[in-house]
Amino acid sequence: MARTHLTLAQLQAFVQVARGLSFRAAAQALHVSQPALSRTVRMAEDAVGARLFDRDTRHVELTPAGRELLPIAERLLDEFHGAFGELAQFLDGRSGHITLVTLPSLGVAWVPLAVAAFRVQHPQVEFSLLEAPARDLLPMVREGRADFGISVRPVPDRQLHYRHLLDDPFELVCRRDDTLAARAAVNWSVFATRPFLASALGSSIRTVTDAAFVQNGLTLRPAFTFPSVSAGGAMVAAGLGLTALPRLALPLAHSPALASVKLQRPALSRPLGIVTRIGRSLSPVTQAFIATLCEMGRGARAGPDPAQALLDHQSN
């Protein structure tokens, strides 16, 4: 039975000789001595268990076994070089797959912009975009179900690293025909005079609104609790009350019937950034995409209103 434990060097030597039918030319192309090339070819013949070349001092010809092996060897070398070419693209950050999880509001207002900008220079990169509220997002990063997350600043965690991107200010959301819509700004205390619609417990929005009421000494019982920003916007449009949303979440509640007004005393924002798992290596393409996000964050922070800068970019 023929043995087929051919090495890569033996395949390369065989193919180089077979293509030119010259040991001298093949040795020059491979930058080896002719005796070394001859030894490699003999080792290939020993591995196959058959002569691959009929040769004398003047002529070199492929044997039947050599003619049979040549297309197989060429295909194997092509596959090898193709695979390493793909690896080179991966290591250069030009290809790969990125799985990221983000807060729903950022999945609408920001992430699509970053993906579109990134794919202009990296068209071979594939993305899996996941959405989750903050309480579910962090475990997904911690357990490796996502390469990284874009979320609010987490509490100190030995397994997670947070890199700040920008602050997302809160605004009051009311009906456009409400008298509050004509104001330049309102205080958080306004919610004590109207039915308040609250985000679900555990959401990044609820954490900030609860803190605002504590700072103002307000004890409010929500008239309704909404499960999503779009549902909250629909409830406000239906006249069920007022709510407070971060500016980057406003596109999720978009409706001609709604208006937003700056909230002050206090002026609160939710800090947003990139969350990665400590000790987990990120692929080159993931690192490159995070760099794109950070660049967008720096550009937004350079203006007077980072969140509005991102929304303006989205609308252009």
User: Which CATH code is given to the segment(s) 8-91?
Assistant: 1.10.10.10
pLDDT of residue 189: 94
Question: Where in the chain are all domains bearing CATH 1.10.10.10?
Answer: 8-91
H or E, element range at 224: strand 224-226
Distance set, CA 111 to CA 105, 118, 168, 280 (Å): 9, 10, 15, 22
pLDDT of residue 1: 42
- Phi/psi at 151 (nearest 5 deg)? -150, 180
H or E, element range at 171: strand 160-175
DSSP per residue over 276-292, as a string?
A: EETTPPPPHHHHHHHHH
pLDDT of residue 130: 94
pLDDT of residue 251: 87
Report the DSSP beta bridge partners of residue 261: 172
pLDDT of residue 157: 87
CA quadruple 12, 16, 18, 19: dihedral, nearest 10: 130
pLDDT of residue 2: 46
10-residue averages of pLDDT along the chain (316 residues): 71 87 88 90 89 84 88 83 63 77 82 87 89 91 95 91 93 97 96 95 89 90 94 96 94 90 92 94 90 82 57 53
pLDDT of residue 147: 94
In this structure, the strands spanning 60-62 and 53-55 are antiparallel
Q: And the tokens for 255?
A: 């409706």
- Phi/psi at 302 (nearest 5 deg)? -70, -20
Alpha carbon distance 113, 57 (integer Å): 67
Q: And the tokens for 272?
A: 């947003």
Alpha carbon distance 48, 80 (integer Å): 20
What are the helix and strand counts (H, E) for the chain?
Answer: 11, 12
Q: And the tokens for 88?
A: 């080179």
Contact 258, 174 (CB under 8 A): yes
Question: Where in the chain are all domains bearing CATH 3.40.190.290?
Answer: 93-316
User: Which CATH code is given to the segment(s) 93-316?
Assistant: 3.40.190.290
Alpha carbon distance 97, 24 (integer Å): 45
